[in-house]
Amino acid sequence: MSLISRSRLVITILTIGLIAGQSILYWIKEKHEADAAYWKSVRKRIKEGGYSNTTCPYNPASLAWEPLLNKNINLTIEEIEKVHNNVRSGGWTPPCKPRHDLILIVPATRREEHLRVFLWHIHAFLQQQLIQYVIYVVTQVEPTNIFNKAMTMNAAFIEATKMYPYSCVIFHDVDLIPESNNWPYTCETPVAHLAAYVDRLHYSLPYKNAFGGVVAFQKDEFKKVNGYSNSFWGWGGEDDDLGGRVRKHSLDIVRPTRTQLSYTMLRHARDPSNKVNIGSYHVIRDPDDGLKTIKYTKLDLKLHRLYTQLLVSFESPKVNLTFESLEQSNHMLEKKEPK
């Protein structure tokens, strides 16, 4: 083959590659615009924060800081953004090379007031720990009008771990605010139940196997237990069921002491879409029901300054599960419960 022929072949290959690359970029832009924008913001945030050559300390001196709790933050989300103006798309990178990274998943459906209070506190709390983190809020949208916290958590885990190659995931109720900063939000142990001491629960476990409020998982361990069961419609049961899955896989659950970490619970009225369903405790669930089987629709991904928000919807449960049927089921079960 002559030199000219070889040159033409190389030019042809490069041209095809350029066209293919442009096509891929066009496909990403058109089909996954939200995700592409998300990753662009991530790269920008990391570039702006940068890393020094110094690794962050194991125990930052700032951990001695005591959060100033304020349950009645009377600020708009825009005013809170001005205070935490170093946050991008819900994430932050410390000026040193971080030892830990974190995805903080927060279910928040019709909880805007609590979310403002939570964001006000949690960004300062995490930055004191010099952790690279992102706050990932998940909101359930219609068509079904019955809340399923477990499915929102599973969906958020799947979507967030696609976007961030982080190894630690904490599932965090929006109405729980840390009272001290003596326990880092990291995953040095495979599983941890962080919210063992809550003011409204008299700073004690309500029962031995309680496992809710704030729980931390190494990413692979959450996959191992197959996440939450998707069968919990209405309020109650999903957290303790997850704890049962953890114990079934012989994973130790670590809890901080009260002096290390405790929480204030924000007061709120019960969401009408989230009625108590004690019947959930009496259902025998398939261990394959969870991350492996969840079906959801990703409606949108919104990049707010203080958090990234995933909007999802689920099909209505196959059984005829209405508020009335929940109440009837609960009434029957209460009659059967031993006094």
235 is catalytic: yes
Residue 235 backbone dihedrals phi, psi, to 5 degrees: -95, 135
Which is the catalytic residue, given 84, 113, 221, 265?
A: 265
Q: How many CA atoms lie within 13 A of 267 on its CB side?
A: 4
Is residue 132 within 8 Å of 93, Cβ to Cβ? yes
Is beta strand 132-140 parallel, antiparallel or unpaired with respect to 191-193?
Answer: unpaired
For residue 76, the one-letter residue type is T
268 is catalytic: yes
Which is the catalytic residue, given 6, 110, 200, 268?
A: 268
Which is the catalytic residue, given 100, 111, 172, 173?
A: 173
Integer distance in angstroms from the first to the last C-alpha of the chain? 92
Q: How many CA atoms lie within 13 A of 162 on its CB side?
A: 12
For residue 90, the one-letter residue type is G
Rounded Cα distance, 308 and 330, in Å? 36
92 is catalytic: no
101 is catalytic: no
Which is the catalytic residue, given 142, 220, 270, 334?
A: 270
153 is catalytic: no
Which is the catalytic residue, given 183, 239, 241, 245?
A: 239
Q: What is the DSSP string of 4-47?
A: HHHHHHHHHHHHHHHHHHHHHHHHHHHHSHHHHHHHHHHHHHHH
Which is the catalytic residue, given 100, 235, 241, 245?
A: 235
Which is the catalytic residue, given 101, 159, 179, 238?
A: 238
Which is the catalytic residue, given 101, 159, 175, 241?
A: 175
Rounded Cα distance, 75 and 265, in Å? 19
Is residue 263 within 8 Å of 213, Cβ to Cβ? yes
Is residue 108 within 8 Å of 73, Cβ to Cβ? no
Residues noted as catalytic: 173, 175, 235, 238-239, 265, 268, 270
